[in-house]
């Protein structure tokens, strides 16, 4: 099983992407997509760094839901900030200490930060312990760090158990 299907989740994603690309569920495309989804991971498994196992699929789903909600809320906030008077903004760089040890989890966290309220991740220190974030309008620096840690970092830590 592990030998012929090294990454079941990746295979599933590839299959779904193929079906979306073909925009059909005809039998031929189901079969062709299935073959590609089985073959591509087998061919490329040796190039890929070790991916973490997802321990709690349900928590991942809840995390994505929270993220989607935050993205929509973030857009309203950012739109108001952009259209409002610019001199009232207080932009700043913030250093976020990271507790995650897994590279993939860090990537997920930087994505979440870039997609949500007025924050963009700008640089990761070379020892992977701090993340430099630019904030469009900062009022409470400690509160923002606590919010990011509680809302995104904690669930990611539980999902990937690292």
Per DSSP, the three-state class of 120 is: strand
Q: What's the Cα-to-Cα distance from 130 to each of 112, 147, 151, rounded to whole Å?
A: 16, 16, 18
Angle of helix 103-115 relative to helix 57-83, nearest 10 degrees?
A: 30
**Longest alpha-carbon distance in the chain:** 60
Nearer to another protein, 42 or 136 (CB): 136
Q: Binder to another protein among 9, 12, 20, 45 (CB under 8 A)? A: 20
Give residue 52's Cα distance to chain centre: 14
72 binds another protein (CB under 8 A): yes
36 binds another protein (CB under 8 A): no
CA atoms within 13 A on the CB side of 5: 10
Stretch that binds another protein, among 1-9, 13-21, 37-45, 142-150 (CB under 8 A): 13-21
Q: Binder to another protein among 96, 121, 144, 156 (CB under 8 A)? A: 121
Size of the site for another protein (CB under 8 A): 29
**Which stretches of the chain bind another protein, using CB under 8 A?**
17, 20-21, 23-24, 71-72, 74-75, 78-79, 81-83, 86, 89, 91, 93, 110-111, 114-115, 118, 120-123, 134, 136
């Amino acid at each position: 099983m592990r030998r012929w299907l090294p990454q079941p989740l990746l295979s599933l994603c590839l299959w779904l992407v193929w079906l979306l690309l073909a925009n059909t569920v005809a039998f031929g495309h189901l079969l062709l997509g299935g073959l590609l989804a089985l073959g591509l991971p087998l061919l490329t498994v040796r190039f890929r760094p070790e991916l973490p196992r997802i321990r709690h699929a349900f928590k991942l789903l809840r995390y994505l839901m929270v993220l989607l909600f935050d993205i929509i809320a973030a857009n309203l906030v950012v739109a108001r900030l952009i259209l409002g008077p610019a001199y009232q903004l207080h932009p700043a760089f913030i250093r976020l200490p990271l507790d995650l040890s897994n590279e993939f989890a860090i990537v997920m966290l930087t994505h979440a930060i870039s997609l949500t309220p007025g924050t963009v991740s700008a640089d990761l220190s070379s020892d992977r312990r701090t993340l430099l974030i630019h904030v469009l309008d900062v009022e409470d620096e400690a509160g923002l760090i606590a919010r990011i840690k509680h809302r995104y970092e904690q669930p990611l830590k539980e999902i990937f158990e690292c």
